[in-house]
Each structure stands twice: as C-alpha cells, then as structure tokens.
A and B are shown apart, each in its own frame.
Chain A
Amino acid sequence: MIIKTKNEILASEITDPSIFKERRKIIKALFATLVSSSVISPNRVLAANNNSVWNNLSKGDFSNNKLTPTPAELIKNYTNYYEFSFNKKDSTELAQHLKIDPWSIEVTGEIEKPGTFYLEDILRQQVLQEFIYRFRCVEAWSMVVPWVGFSLGNLLKTFKPLSSAYFVKFTSVHQPEIMPKQQNNAMLEWPYVESLRIDEAMHPLSIFAVGMYGNTLPKQNGAPLRLVVPWKYGFKSIKAIVKIEFLKRPPISSWSKSAPGEYGFYANVNPEVPHPRWSQNSERQLGSGLFTPRRQTELFNGYGEQVASMYSNMDLRHFF
C-alpha cells in the first residue's frame, strides 16, 4: 500500500518533462527517476495488486514504458458513458448494473466467416498484452492507461475480410432497461456506433481492450470489450462492443450524426484543428497537481510516427 502511494506521487510529477522545460520540474523528474529506478520498478508497481488477473504480460509493440500511467482510481472515476448518465460520477455508479456475462459479438458484412462468437472463445485465440497508451478526450483532458488487450487487426483477419471491406463499424450494447438514456432516447441515437477505415482498424496501434492495470476492465471503462485507438479522440474508442460489421461505404458514427459540424469521421487528435466551440491546443492531464500547466496536445496524440502516413494526402482540416 505504501509502495502504491509513492507511485501516485510519481504519476503527477514525471508528467512529460520535455514539454515544459521549467527547471523545477526537471529537477523533480530527475529525482523521480532516481527513486523509481532504485526503489520500485514500474512493473512491480503495476503488479503490486495481489488480485491481478493478468501478471507479467508482454508489452504491445507501441506500448510506451516511459509514460507514467494515471492512477487507476482516477481512470475509474472519470468516464463518459452517456447511455447511463451525462454526468461522470453518476455514469460510473449506474454502469455497475450492466450485464456482461455471457457476452457475444456478432460479426457480419463483407467477410468470408460471418457469425456470432462468445467473447471467451475469441479471447482463447488471442494473445493478451499490455499497452500503455495515451488517451485524449475531445473535452481537452487526457490520461495514460495501461490497457490489457489484443491487436484488433489480428482478430479482424480471422474473419477473413473481402476486398470489398473498406470500413469497419462497431456497435455498443443496447440494454435500455438498464441504460436510462437509451430508454429516454436522450442526446444521441442509440445504440452508440463508431467506425474506422479498414487500414485504421488493421493498424498495429488499434487494440481491443478487455482490461487495465492487470485486471478486467471496470464496467464504466467499457467492460467487457472496448476499442482503443489512441491517436483519435476518446469518443472513437467505443465501449461494450456487441457487433462488428465490415462495410463498403462509410457508416455515420453517433456523434457525427448528432453534430456533423463538430465531430467528423476521423476525429484524429490535432491541436491545429479546434473544435468549433473550444480549442484543442492543450489538455489537462488527470493526476497532475494544482498549478501545473496543461500539456501541449500533440498531432495524432503523439503517435504521428506510426499513423501519419495513413493520412498523408488528406487535408486534416477538412477531414477532421
């Protein structure tokens, strides 16, 4: 427990020191590095929880060990889940009612092997890894999450997509008896849908997450299965997926349908393209202390090296 507390102090302090080159912070970061390397290794801290379901997972290709994960308690208590409530606190509580066992996923569209699959059967075929990724919300806050999951591309390939499959559409669970906003048809058209271009979906950065911090995913964070596409705004990373469709034409995702001028199909993190009503130039990192400046948002959330080539011929202002 004491070890964990130490880690929490670190989390707020080694917040990407290269961005803000204040002397004070660099000293703190150096100090933090010293402490973490001599006393506790990050791995040990992550596995410190005895109840961990998955220990010592290998790291995904683009998992970044240099990032300090945001404390789990903060991640668990700061979620948007509009099916339950428009308020983060209430949605966390109400999400506990979600029924996730058993869970199956329907796979249809332009593929050779359509069908419905139980999640546990899917998991048996996949290699779980840990992915420490940045997560940037369109509301201008961000965190670093140690997801447990598997490559989305690897899964999609098992369904044998046809050459006519240009887009992949994901659909969230529809449980109106449990989800108050679905019952009232409030805000968005339910169930929630999101979509990726096939090359985005096949990209090695894209994962399906089933856990975080070595444990199964909390319900409010998208249990039992959610998408994680770290170079896009958080709303693309759809939760509680029940359906995957391979399509010829681009489907319209939920937020684009509700406000097409504000939320585009791509939703790539881009500090140069403000949302019509607020800037996307900077972000508040959860876990950073009072009087800590915001983090400068990076193009593609810092994953430009991996993903920029997919958008090389596109005007990112137009395709926002």
Chain B
Amino acid sequence: MALRLNNLRSSIFFICLIPFLWLLVDIVFDNLGSNPIQAIHIRLGDWSLRFLCLTLTITPIQIIANWRGMSAYRQMLGLYTFFYASLHIMTYIIVDQFFVWHVIGIDIIESPYIWFGLLAYIIVFLLAITTPKSAKKRMGKNWKKLHRFIYLAAIGAVVHYFWQLKGNLADPLFYLIIVTLLLAFRFLVWVKNRKFNKMMIPTRKKALVLPVRQIEASEAIVEQRE
C-alpha cells in the first residue's frame, strides 16, 4: 500500500514538472514567437498561479470527500507554486533585465501591478521555507497562522494578473472566479463552524460536526505517530 502511494506521489511529482520541461523544449526549438522573453515570463507566471489554485483545492476536496490523506500532495503542489513563481521572478531579473538593478528598481516602483506580484511571492517564499517539519514544530500554532496567508497570496496574484493588461480581462477573470470559489468555500466552512460554536457549549462531540477541525485533529494525530 505504501509503495503504491509512493508511486502515485512520484508520478504526480513528475507530472508537475511537465510544464517546465515543455517550456525548455519550446525554448530550444524557438517556439516562443517574436518576444520569447515575455513568453517565458508569462508562461511561468501562469503556471505559478495554476499551482497556487491547485494547492488551494486540496483542502476542499479533503473536506468534501471526507478523505484526509492528501496533505502531502498539498505540500508538494505548494512547493511547485514556489518553484514556478521563483522561475518567474528569476526570468524577470536575469533573462529580461539582466541584473540592471536601477532599471529593475524604477520598473518596480512605477508598476503597481508588480507590487501585488511581489507580495504574493514573498508570502509563497515564506511558506516554502517553513516547509520542513522542524520549522513546523518550532513555530507551533504560528505555523498554521502563517500558512493561512496563502489566501492573501492568491488574491495578490490575481490582482497582479488583472492590473498588467490593457483590457482583455477574460483570462484573469477565470482565475478570479476560481480563487473566489476556493476562498468562499473556506469562508462558508468558517461560518458554519462559528454557528456550531455558538449553538453548542463546547463538548467533546463538537469534533463530529466540524469537518475541518476533525481533519486537523486527525492530521495532528497522524503527525504525532510519525
């Protein structure tokens, strides 16, 4: 069973690399059109946002399917978000601007859409470096608080997308809808939890009706065992 799961994990790991390999192929075969630098930059940005959305879908799936075995995938997808977002930024700094820092500085100061992208990246960066179990242990409850900032990163990334376009907003609108649905789901769960909190004086049974907490609790148990 463990072996099969590992197989699944490694295949997902490699599937997530496909967009990167595909981009390399397009670079080598010069398939990127008249402005290849921008094409690379945009492609990597798109994939960062897609992986961010995928990361955010894991928890809702776990709750709806009442299956709690997916947190490892959530972590992997989150790290891939970091991977693609880092390449996105490196493309900007190295391939596009080639370390001409004063131009980069002016560009960032004068381009509000970059501020939102940068905000999203800083958050994703912090989440990525606090991935190791040791960091999680050291941070205790703060780890969870910090990792909730992924919601802000998602909003920042979508604003970043919207604000750089002249007017053709169909693509970012798609991501806005996805992110809104994903965040709305969490909001509804939160509202539901609060209602139950008010209705019932805390008892041990509460865990039965609070799916999110239930999962969190069981995750904690699993981790303790590990």
Contacts and interface: CB of A to CB of B under 8 A. Distances in A.
Contacts of B107: 279, 281-282
Given A78-B35, A282-B103, A284-B37, A292 B110 contact: no
Interface string A45-89: 000000000000000000000000000011101100010001111
Nearest to A76: B34
B98 to A, nearest CB: 4
A127 interface: no
A277 B112 contact: yes
Interface string B78-105: 0000000000000000111110100100
Contacts of B170: 86
B117 to A, nearest CB: 12
Interface string B151-191: 00000000000011011101000000000000000000000
| Of listed A78, A277, A284, residue having the most chain B CB within 10 A | A277
B111 interface: yes
Nearest to A141: B35
B43 to A, nearest CB: 14
Given A187-B167, A286-B35, A279 B111 contact: yes
Interface string A248-276: 00000000001100000000000000101
Given A86-B168, A279-B110, A293 B103 contact: yes
Contact of A278 (B33, B37, B164): B164
A139 interface: yes
A258 B167 contact: yes
B163 A284 contact: no
Contact of A294 (B36, B96, B166, B167): B96
Interface residues of A, number: 34
Interface in A290-320: 290-294, 296
B199 interface: no
Contacts of B222: none
Contact of B34 (A77, A278, A280): A77
A258 B106 CA distance: 27
Interface residues of B, number: 27
Given A281-B103, A281-B106, A293 B97 contact: yes
Given A277-B111, A278-B110, A291-B98, A89 B33 contact: yes
Contacts of A286: 34-35
Main DSSP-derived SS at the B contact region: helix
A215 B151 CA distance: 53
Contacts, number: 74
Contacts of A77: 33-34
B130 interface: no
A259 B106 CA distance: 24
Nearest to A273: B110
B38 A141 contact: yes
Contacts of A274: 110-111
A182 to B, nearest CB: 15
Contact of A78 (B34, B94, B111, B168): B34
A279 B106 CA distance: 7
Contacts of B114: 278
B121 interface: no
Contacts of A287: 34
| Of listed A78, A141, A293, A296, residue having the most chain B CB within 10 A | A293
Contacts of B37: 284, 290
B51 interface: no
A276 B38 CA distance: 20
A40 B97 CA distance: 32
B47 interface: no
A69 B13 CA distance: 45
Given A279-B111, A294-B96, A259 B167 contact: yes
A284 B167 CA distance: 21
Interface in B48-97: 94-97
B106 A187 contact: no
B94 A291 contact: yes
Contacts of A278: 110-111, 113-114, 164
Interface string B19-37: 0000000000000011111
A168 to B, nearest CB: 25
13 contacts: A73-B34, A88-B34, A89-B33, A138-B166, A141-B35, A141-B38, A187-B167, A277-B112, A284-B96, A286-B35, A290-B37, A292-B98, A294-B100
Interface of B: 33-38, 94-98, 100, 103, 106-107, 109-114, 163-164, 166-168, 170
Interface of A: 73-75, 77-78, 82, 86-89, 138-139, 141, 187-188, 258-259, 274, 276-282, 284, 286-287, 290-294, 296
